[in-house]
Amino acid sequence: MKPAEHPVHAPSMPWIPLREGLSFRPLRFGLDGWALHLRLEPGTTIARHRHTGEVHAYNLSGRRELIETGEIVGPDTYVYEPPGNVDSWRCYGDEPCIVHVSLTGRVEYLDETGNVLHYSDTHKSRAAYLDWCRKNGVVPNVPMAPYPNERVA
């Protein structure tokens, strides 16, 4: 039996900026999936994108609008997105929205005709986290699946 990974105390983890109004707190990086908290400031939008794997999203605080349906998702609400799902959403209201997200595969950001502009996956997100750690003198403290021939610190 494999030993459990060390616990991650999310509130003590720093928010890592991705762009204006959007930051993430990594919780785990696997070989084909990752878990994180996303924080959107009021008015921030996640552009139209497609998921190649499953997404499990649980609102921890704040509200978000699922743009395609107009639904408002508040705290303690879970949303499942199957592989192939295309959506966009935004922080709704006057307070930040924090969502726990666990996903596999890629997140492909799309233009208006459905072409992939860029994508994110566990490897890119992990690299962004490790780069941020190096630049900020922080020792990585997130469980990571071992990648062949990779030095983490």
Residue spans per domain, the chain = 19-136
Compute the 3-state secondary structure of the chain and give helix, strand, coil in percent, each to the nearest 5.
10, 45, 40
Q: Is a pLDDT exceeding 60 seen at residue 153?
A: no
**What is the reported pTM?**
0.89
> Which tens digits make up the pLDDT trace of 6-44?
788 888 889 999 999 999 999 999 988 999 999 999 999
In words, the CATH class of domain 19-136 is: mainly beta
User: What pLDDT digit, counting tens, does each position of 60-111 carry?
Assistant: 999 999 999 999 999 999 999 999 999 999 999 999 999 999 999 999 999 9
Instruction: Identify the pLDDT of residue 144.
Output: 83
What separation in angstroms does the CA of 14 have from each of 6, 7, 83, 106? 17, 16, 30, 24
